[in-house]
Chains A and B, each alone.
Chain A
Amino acid sequence: MSGDARGGGEGASSRGSGPARGGGEGASSRGSGPARGGAEGASSRGSGPAPAAEGVARRLAQPPLQREEVKTIFEKGAPGRRAFVCPEIDVPAPPDGLELLPARLRRSEPPRLPEVSEPEIVRHYVRTSKRNFDLDSGFYPLGSCTMKHNPRLHERLAALPGNARLHPLQEPELSQGALRLMWGLQGALAEISGLPHVSLQPSAGSHGDLAGVLLSKAYHEDRGERRLKVLTPDTAHGTNPATVTMAGMEVVKLATDGQGGIDIADLEAKADEQVACLMLTNPNTLGIFDPNITRIAEIVHGVGGILYYDGANLNAIMGYSRPGDMGFDIVHFNLHKSFTQPHGGGGPGSGPIAVSERIEPYLPVPVVVRVDGEGEGRRTGRGPRGGEDGREGAATPEGGDGARFELAHERPKSIGRLRGFQGNYGTFVRAYAYICSLGAEGLKDVSEAAVLNANYLLARLRQLGVAEHLPLAYGRLCMHEFVLSGAPMRRDLQIRTLDLAKRLLDHGFHPPTVYFPLLVEEALMVEPTETETRQTLDEFAVAVAAILSEAAEDPEIATNAPYPPPVRRLDEAAAAKRPVIRQPL
């Protein structure tokens, strides 16, 4: 459906594997065209002098989406055009003839929103959409982002009126289905993480980070201690240290050892009574499961600190290992990574947290509680067996097990609210449906396939000789993702990781994460996920190998990539220097 935007995987790889030189020439002939003229054309956009005849010919030789001059919705339409027909004002005017809104509170000029017809809107956004690469169209091995398939069943379920049109302040007795679903999800997340108490409230992973750091702060404060240091490894996601600062605490960096885990000596030196918590991703962003995890937990607990688990990489270990069993006190989940909430081009996400008994009193409000006899007092659920997840309710939709749920707001030691309402319920529906679909065995299969796929891809790259230029940064095997270093490639082939990434676009693949983690030079971070077939992994490996051998012949092919529409490399420096971040109207 969107293949025309990029020529699709096949078309693109035939371009890639075809006479690469030709691709390069084509590109450089475009590149050597009147670039200045192009820039002027762009700036005079809209004022509309007809381009020169040769320009027309050149443009017609390009695919439609490439020759199209990009216009925003604000540059389309015409004064007076519209899509919305407002319902008539059906109420009488006020009897005293008073103005409902005094002039001084009124807006003088309407906001300059677009004036467009409905067909124009549809065509505009459908065409705009085709300028995106998406997971449904091709391989998207973006490391630490877990770009796994998004089952459309979940979209159907989230759209049911009982979910989509349920008001967040509806009475709990009229929201029992939603609360039961949340209870079931809390229980499942508790079981998967090995930590008994769950709050679904945080909006994304970084919000879960904030919850976690504030929870550890509250825990120490409640014990009369002021601890401000937070240990974060140099492999940590940027959200970890950024969160620490937002929470008014201080980042203490930990070094990475030769195996890719935390440097124990460094940890021992820095772990003291000032430490509030350690934030750790395990497996970490190198795809390495820290072999010293129990020792790390001992050290941090030994000085009275809390262990916080960044759940970005949970997809590697579901059913194999649990953060709670590793000694962590707090975990956040990314429902948009491990549990299939579609990434949406950058959200919505969801970042529930699970915590140990000692952290439970501080959980954000509100939490879902069960208020009938059986589960009472157990605030946040456990394993969802025995009908606690509402499964029995499925067999007897009228409420067979008689469980009742409420939202508890009165929690004296709570850190408070992090946002409005109960959290991103729409993402809970999808995650819960996913867990119901897969069950215990299916979740374990997911992690098995994710780890198998990553190791297989790593092995295939080795077989094709890629390791010579792009060696594995740490270790021999990996968990669900691995990090290659492009330093030898840069030295020997004169192409950078960025060039490799851009050339992969020509092959119809989304590139892996690049230049992260920071401690690996020219890093390339690959996470294939369980979604991909062996054939796809083979094709990707072959494409990487082809780019390297092509670069050995002519590095400029990669350094000028990508070549397909809609645009070539973009000038990010200019964008930052003189920011144009809205349409001038």
Chain B
Amino acid sequence: MSRYTAITDADRAAMLAAIGVGSAQELFDSQIPEQVRLRRPLDLPAGLGEQEVYEHLRSLAQRNVSCEDQLSFLGGGFYDHYVPAIVDMLCERSEFLTPYTPYQPEVSQGGLQVMFEYQTAISELTALPVSNASVYEGPSAAASAAYMARIHNRREKIVVSAGLHPHTLQSIRTYAHGFGSEVVEVPLCGEGLTGADGGPPPGAGVTDIEAWAQAIDGRTSAAIFAQPNFYGAVEDAQALAEVAHERGQGAVVVCQADPVTLGILKPPGECGVDVAVGEGQPFGGRLDYGGPSFGFFAATEALMRKMPGRIAGETVDADGRRGFVLTLQTREQHIRREKATSNICTAQALNALAGMVHLAWLGRRGIVELGELLLARADYARRRLCEIEGVSPMHTQPVVRELAVRIDADLDEVRSRCIAGGDPAGVNPGIDIERLTGRESDRGGLLVAITERRSRADIDRLAEVLAEAIAECRAVVA
């Protein structure tokens, strides 16, 4: 008997007698054809006791340098926010942790109500009337939006801004190759160009709206951009949406938004966007080396019946009492099979709960205050870093929580020197942009993420460490 099973020898004997077979092996042998039976034990190590497993995985975890060990400015979709303790406490409750999808609504009112509340919160944040109960995560949410646009208007061209997260661009391409749409990428302004003062040209860093307008036409199914974009720049979402609607009559305009910024940025719904998607990790999510988190997906009412994923709706029971059910299920795979609007089944209910609890904790005023704090710190960080010899801004657009600077030195070497540190431990200064985008014009680009956990003192420390590393690298070259 393994640690998590309960069949004693006496149980087994009684059970086999009831079934009418001589042995458990017989149960398998009578059903699995001989040619495909495994005739040897699996080549895996023997099982370990709970304590041994704990020690083994603890020793593995200790080989990782986490945000607990290192002052880190890594972002790029996942951010080291402070998650309130009540998120852990509520998500560990058996009642939320261990049930499955609420197929039996009478005994799943808790989970359904959380979905309904979550949908309300996402709808409020995005200023779009309809939200589903979550999809997997950020980049695939954008790809799912592209698919929804495809089944909505049956057009075969997807126009994407180069300001989308590289993982989003890649996921859209993967999905689009499947459903047979072409992907056209629109560059950012000023890519690879220099302004009069040697810095970035004015207007650089956001989607080139003329190229955007040219790329979008009557064949365009979806037009997708990020807010803020991957380089941290705040886009003029309203202008992008207006142009996309004007040029691509009937095209679906999709905005991939960082939800933390929506306390202060004009929300997608007010900018004329049809679909807002994004990565929910900043709300209630751990870093978890990349997942699980949740993706959010909100849309206009016109698209409600084309949406992917579960949707909870309000109704009444046989006594007229308020209750919640899964609704609009005729979109879904378990009912519609090959005619479903998406194949998604299991999504991210527990992560969405974490997000909802975090949002309730932040509250109506907190989400604005947090946005203002990040805005002030991100701007300060950009100014502070650009005072360093060898650091210049990649763009001068407003930044809310993440900023891109260009390092005039071997970035690999600079980052290594920052990270190596000593006593105190090193600083991870942020993402090597070119490594993610693969764009030569991004050479030397460093993406620095700010959260409420990165104080002014932390930013100053980053500036010192970065200045030192750059000076050392330049000295070596000289």
Contacts and interface: CB of A to CB of B under 8 A. Distances in A.
Contact of B78 (A158, A168, A438): A168
A284 to B, nearest CB: 12
B327 interface: yes
Interface string B169-210: 011011101111000000000000000000000000000000
4 cross-chain pairs, A with B, having the tightest CB-CB distances, nearest first: A38-B320, A421-B290, A162-B61, A344-B350
Interface string B310-335: 11111111111111110111101111
Interface string A156-185: 111111111111111100111110110000
A425 to B, nearest CB: 4
Interface in B109-132: 109-111, 113-114, 116-117, 119-121, 123-125, 127, 129-131
Contacts of A128: 109-110, 113-114
B32 to A, nearest CB: 5
Interface residues of B, number: 215
A116 interface: yes
A558 B408 CA distance: 75
Interface in A280-299: 283, 288-289, 291, 293-294
Interface string B77-120: 11010001010111011111111111111111111011011011
A277 B291 CA distance: 30
Contacts of B103: 142, 513-514
B3 A436 contact: no
Contacts of B36: 293-294, 321-322, 325-326
B28 A560 contact: no
Interface size class, chain A:
35 or more
B86 A2 contact: no
A481 interface: no
A73 B106 contact: no
A463 interface: yes
Contacts of A151: 3-4
Interface in A281-324: 283, 288-289, 291, 293-294, 317-322
A579 B328 contact: yes
Given A86-B366, A530-B4, A166 B64 contact: yes
A110 B455 CA distance: 25
Contacts of A350: 292
B361 A118 contact: yes
B274 interface: no
B471 interface: no
A452 B289 contact: no
B178 A214 contact: yes
B101 A345 contact: yes
Interface string B29-55: 011110111100111111111101111
B120 A583 contact: yes
A549 interface: no
B279 interface: yes
Given A35-B320, A114-B363, A391-B45, A170 B65 contact: yes
A436 B342 contact: no
B427 interface: no
Nearest to A511: B104
B96 A345 contact: yes
B1 interface: yes
Interface in B294-318: 294, 304, 310-318
A567 B116 contact: no
B290 A422 contact: yes
Given A166-B288, A342-B98, A505-B107, A441 B318 contact: no
Contact of B323 (A70, A294, A429): A70
B291 A153 contact: no
Contacts of A429: 57
A156 B104 CA distance: 30
Contacts of B372: 89
A136 B334 CA distance: 26
A288 B33 CA distance: 12
A260 to B, nearest CB: 11
B238 A104 contact: yes
B456 A134 contact: no
A115 interface: yes
A383 interface: yes
A580 interface: yes
Interface string B227-257: 0000000101110000000000000000000
Most B CB atoms within 10 A — which of A91, A158, A442, A581? A581
B262 A191 contact: no
A276 B284 CA distance: 41
Contact of B351 (A237, A320, A348, A571): A348
B110 A505 contact: no
Interface string B266-304: 110010000000010000001111111010000000001
A420 B138 contact: yes
A47 to B, nearest CB: 14
A100 B167 contact: no
Contacts of B11: 533-534
Interface string A511-555: 101101000000000000011111000000000000000000000
Given A105-B266, A321-B38, A423-B291, A345 B43 contact: no
B316 A477 contact: no
7 contacts: A118-B361, A150-B97, A162-B68, A293-B36, A321-B28, A321-B37, A440-B42
A582 B177 CA distance: 34
A511 B264 CA distance: 46
A425 B238 CA distance: 36
A579 B140 contact: no
Interface stretch (A18-26, A265-273, A393-401, A483-491): A393-401
Contacts of B78: 167-169, 420-421
Contacts of B263: 107, 110-111
Given A165-B287, A346-B102, 16 more contacts: A36-B320, A42-B316, A84-B84, A91-B380, A93-B376, A134-B96, A136-B94, A191-B44, A248-B178, A317-B32, A425-B289, A440-B46, A463-B18, A562-B106, A567-B321, A581-B119
Contact of B313 (A73, A214, A436, A576): A576
Contact of A417 (B72, B170, B310): B170
Contacts of A334: 346
A427 B137 CA distance: 14
A33 B338 contact: no
Contacts of A399: 63
Contact of A42 (B54, B64, B167, B322): B322
A438 B120 CA distance: 42
B363 A177 contact: no
A149 interface: yes
A36 B452 CA distance: 51
B383 A178 contact: no
Given A1-B94, A346-B101, A513-B103, A74 B320 contact: no
Contacts of A423: 290-291
Interface in A422-458: 422-427, 429, 432-433, 435-446, 448-449, 451-453, 455-456, 458
A494 interface: no
Nearest to A90: B456
